[in-house]
Amino acid sequence: MIYKVSYVVVGRPHLGAIVNLDSPPRVGDRVELSNELCEVTEVVDLIPPRGDFAFLHVTCRQAEDER
């Protein structure tokens, strides 16, 4: 299955992406978008999967520094 994923980062109007993935993102995952580390806070199916494709919307926030 191919996951077409739309990423949006809360509080960052121009930071986001649309990517194809082999596995679905999950809440708590970390992803790098435009050289910024972000944490997934929500994953929503946009429409039911069709054939080999699933369409997801992912909301993220800027990740806290791990020190």
- Please answer whether residues 2 and 55 qualify as being in contact, where contact means their C-beta atoms are separated by less than 8 angstroms: no
Task: Give me the mean pLDDT over the 44-64 stretch.
Answer: 93
Q: Which of the four pLDDT bands, split at 50, 70 and 90, describes residue 66?
A: low
What pTM does this model have? 0.87
Give residues with Cβ within 8 angstroms of 13, minimum separation 6.
none
13 assigned to some structural domain: yes
20 assigned to some structural domain: yes
Say how many domains are in the chain: 1
Closest of 59, 54, 2 to residue 28, by C-alpha: 59
Domain residue limits at 34? 2-62
Torsion region of 8: left, alpha or beta (phi above 0 gives left; psi -120 to 50 gives alpha):
beta
The pLDDT mean for the chain works out to: 92
58 assigned to some structural domain: yes
67 assigned to some structural domain: no
Task: Give me the mean pLDDT over the 3-11 stretch.
Answer: 95
Task: Give me the mean pLDDT over the 49-63 stretch.
Answer: 94
- Count Cα atoms within 13 angstroms, Cβ side, for 12: 17
pLDDT score for 31: 94
pLDDT score for 67: 43
17 assigned to some structural domain: yes
26 assigned to some structural domain: yes
| Separation CA 19–CA 10 (nearest Å) | 18
